Structure formats: C-alpha cells, structure tokens
Amino acid sequence: MNTLELKNSVIAKINEIHDRDFLLAIKTIIDAKTSKDYSSTDYNNDILKAEEDIANGYLVSHEEIKAKMEQWKKK
C-alpha cells in the first residue's frame, strides 16, 4: 500500500467513527504531527487548558481508556 492509498484508507476509517473523544484524540495526534510552529506559548496554553479540564472534572481514568480501546478493537 503506497502513501496515498494509506491516507485514503485512514480517511475512510475516520469517516466511520462517531466517538467524539476518539476523534479528538486523533485530532491531537494529527495536530502534533502537522504543527510546524508549535511554540512554548502553544505548549503553555495546552498545559493551562489541561489543568482547566482537570479542575472542571473532565477526567478519564486509565481503566476507562483501556475499556474504550478494547471496544475500538472489536469494531
């Protein structure tokens, strides 16, 4: 499978996913790979956002993540 075929395959699979949390995780990975100007300011803003999420209780335990991963594997 060449790069173009692989990209198209990944895009097709992503289009089948409706799990918002999973899509956000994919977006984070893609953003990190494609960001050319990720500065210390961006990093600090991301840390502040993460701390805000924690303070607001937007947490997912390791066990919950493992369970979700098992569900994704079955699909």
Interval 9-57: pLDDT, tens: 999 999 999 999 899 989 988 888 776 666 788 888 889 999 999 999 9
| Mean local confidence (pLDDT), 62-72 | 89
Predicted pLDDT of residue 1: 85
Question: How many Cβ atoms sit within 10 Å of the Cβ of residue 26?
Answer: 15
Predicted pLDDT of residue 38: 67
Question: What is the DSSP code (8-state) at residue 36?
Answer: S
Predicted pLDDT of residue 48: 94
pTM flag (> 0.85): no
3-state secondary structure of 15: helix
